[in-house]
């Protein structure tokens, strides 16, 4: 039997909601999705440019969704992002996705 990490499932659910946003799908700026690990947190990153990265996973100390925004760190969590933790109830997938979507749209519009 194959079992996927609960944190990855939660992160993928949030990222999938973000990916289906029409405005983001139609923009020319690439948004790169990758994985990251921060101790017991297993999650995904969305990078809108080389320096702006959003990390999403299940919080390592609870079942809440945690979103960090900061600079890119390969496979880990950057120190500046760690300070920006925003938590959402584990059932508030749409709230986390909306928070990420708004940040990505602001970032992309700054790049243009």
Give how far the C-alpha of residue 35 lies from the chain's centroid of Cα atoms, to the nearest Å.
9
- pTM of the full predicted structure? 0.91
| Residue at 46 is within a domain | yes
> pLDDT by residue (tens digit) across 5-60?
888 999 999 999 999 988 888 888 888 999 998 888 899 999 987 679 999 999 98
The alpha helices in 1-112, defined as continuous H runs, are 6-19, 22-26, 79-82, 93-111
| Residue at 1 is within a domain | no
Give the domain extent around 72.
Answer: 6-111
| Residue at 38 is within a domain | yes
65 or 112, which is more confident: 65
| Residue at 37 is within a domain | yes
In the prediction, which pLDDT does 58 show? 93
Q: What's the CA gap between 83 and 77, in Å, rounded? A: 10
Q: What's the CA gap between 90 and 61, in Å, rounded? A: 12
Q: How many domains does the chain have?
A: 1
Residue burial 86-99, b: 16+ Cβ < 10 Å; e: rest: bebeeeebeebbbb
């Amino acid at each position: 039997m194959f079992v996927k990490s609960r944190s990855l499932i939660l992160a993928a659910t949030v990222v999938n909601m973000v990916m289906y946003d029409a405005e983001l799908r139609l923009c020319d700026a690439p948004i790169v999705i990758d994985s990251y690990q921060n101790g017991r947190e297993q999650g995904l990153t969305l990078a809108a440019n080389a320096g702006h990265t959003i990390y999403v996973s299940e919080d390592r100390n609870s079942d809440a969704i945690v979103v960090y925004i900061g600079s890119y760190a390969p496979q880990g969590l950057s120190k500046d992002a760690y300070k920006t933790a925003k938590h959402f109830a584990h059932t508030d997938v749409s709230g986390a996705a909306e928070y990420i979507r708004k940040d990505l749209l602001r970032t992309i519009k700054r790049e243009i």
